[in-house]
Structure 1
Amino acid sequence: MRISLELVPRDPVGLKTELELVRRQFPAINTINIPDLTRFDLRSWEATRLSKAFYNDSIPHIRSMDFDAGDPFSLIHYLNEHQISEILVVTGDAPKESGKPVYPTTCIDLIHKLKREHPHLKIYAALDPYRHSVRKEYEYVQQKLDAGVDGFFTQPFFDLRLMTLYSEMLEGADVFWGVAPVVTESSKRYWESRNHVVFPKDFQPTLEWNIEFSKQALAYTEQTKGNIYFMPIKVDLQAYFNGVFSKVFV
């Protein structure tokens, strides 16, 4: 079972500090995934090179809109040189800096291109249970599978019933199920307005509720032989992971 932590690459020093802390205090975590955020100078593949000194299993997010589907994939030599063999392809959001070029390359375009030209790469795609109806998201998943994707990282779940529904839909696929603690009312409103999340009736924006749900999601993932990743934004890592792992790994 793979347990991944998503770390935001704000700068090299801060990233290394977080990696050292996680490796020392939370040995259950064995994989790191790193988003590509254009507001920071450190790009995801550069951060992954640093991460691999701590975790061999490190997965950068790659934004398809940054690459022209008609040109050679410019990152392949960097990825090969640093033994980065797994990537997560997302479409990405348009950068706020107007000078940065973007292309009409969809994640499906880039997945298809990479699997054809660089089949040694293991490629994950995103799954978002709140983006569309279940039927539309299922159709989108099938398009990504047809393009050759090897697995999925989901947006965070907050309801085990919805997670179970998608688990049945994705039976046999290599999936990292997302979990993110939401511990304030303002954070809850953000997830509702930005990501269209529908929280379950019993949801409470407390550390205790989120630890209990994360424990249940981790146990379910282990039971179904899947993988999980945590996106602990604005939460005390020590308190959160001590609660999650002490109740599961005894």
Structure 2
Amino acid sequence: MGRISVELVPRSEEGLREDLKTTQNSVKGVDVINIPDLLRLDIRSWEGAAIAQEYFPAVMPHIRAIDVDLTQPLAMRPELRRSGITEVLVIEGDPPQDMSHKFYPTVTTDVIQKFHQEMPEVKVYAGIDQYRGSMRQEMYRIQRKLQAGAVGFFTQPFFDLRFMEMYADMLEGQNVYWGVSPVMSERSQSYWELKNNVVFPKGFEPTLNWSIDFSRKALEFVKKRGANLYLMPIKSNLEAYLKGVLG
């Protein structure tokens, strides 16, 4: 078995600390805390990751490529070095809806290379979006990211083991964190279908029980392959979900 990572959204410092304590106290076996970078929140991912280090030794902030100005040093470098953070996940990032935040036409491969140049001590992971196009197109993106220096990948959430098996064949030999996430309402299901092009399997139900059951199957899937699991407990009861999957 590889590592188990849990994504926690830093909505506030108090809320993040509560989620970290819940994760720490509810289950054993969580190895890494991932912190996404959401512009609508006051806490940037590397700031949240520094807080998470007080509870878990391994933390991984998300870095949005479109926030990185290639003509300037990495803005988060001082804080990452101060905190001793040695792993990051570079994603593309979505432009802000109200355009209140400046962004750049920077792509993930540029940022991966920039980290290698400016912070060679940091291991850089990249994303896999298995829903954005064909498998051949995504495999091309994966190869580009490997050439840029990515050491591993985090997938978007899977909801179908057969689809996971197809990607597992394609990604054999790669260091992959296989993503799963609870879907707790029909509205959330529609979001995944319309925004992310997800096709849910027959028998899918937007309930905590279905999500826990599938996540446990995904856990067995990664155990057999010596791979990693990436839990994204979005809009669910964190303690109930973690205990259901890992308890």
- Superposition TM-score tier, normalisation by shorter sequence: over 0.9
State the 1:78 CA deviation. Answer: 1.4
Residue equivalent to 2:62: 61
SS in 2 for 1:79: helix
Q: Deviations over 1:113-152 (max 9, x none)?
A: 2123322110011101101111101111111111111111
TM-score (norm 1): 0.94
Partner Cα distance (2:188, 2:102) in 1: 32
8 Å Cα contact 2:28/2:246 also seen in 1: no
8 Å Cα contact 2:222/2:228 also seen in 1: yes
8 Å Cα contact 2:159/2:200 also seen in 1: yes
SS in 2 for 1:77: helix
8 Å Cα contact 2:10/2:16 also seen in 1: yes
Range with bigger deviation, 43-52 or 69-78:
69-78
Residues 10-25 of structure 1 aligned to structure 2 (within 5 Å):
10-25=11-26
Residues 149-164 of structure 1 aligned to structure 2 (within 5 Å):
149-164=150-165
Partner Cα distance (1:135, 1:192) in 2: 21
What is the letter of the counterpart of residue 33 of structure 1? N
Residue equivalent to 1:130: 131
Q: Deviations over 1:129-184 (max 9, x none)?
A: 10111110111111111111111110000011111111121112111110001122
State the 1:97 CA deviation. Answer: 4.3
How many residues align? The count is: 246
State the superposition RMSD in angstroms: 1.2
State the 1:238 CA deviation. Answer: 2.7
Partner Cα distance (1:227, 1:185) in 2: 28
Residue equivalent to 1:72: 73
Residue equivalent to 2:116: 115
Range with bigger deviation, 108-117 or 217-226:
108-117
Residue equivalent to 1:181: 182
Partner Cα distance (2:7, 2:46) in 1: 14
Structure 2 residue runs of 5 or longer lacking an equivalent are none
Partner Cα distance (2:105, 2:243) in 1: 43
Partner Cα distance (1:86, 1:195) in 2: 26
Give the % identical residues.
47
SS in 1 for 2:47: helix
Residue equivalent to 1:229: 230
Q: Deviations over 1:74-103 (max 9, x none)?
A: 222211110111000011111234342211
8 Å Cα contact 2:160/2:201 also seen in 1: yes
SS in 2 for 1:59: strand
Q: Deviations over 1:168-208 (max 9, x none)?
A: 21112111110001122111111101111011112122222
8 Å Cα contact 2:161/2:218 also seen in 1: yes
Residue equivalent to 1:88: 89
Partner Cα distance (1:150, 1:119) in 2: 12
State the 1:221 CA deviation. Answer: 0.5
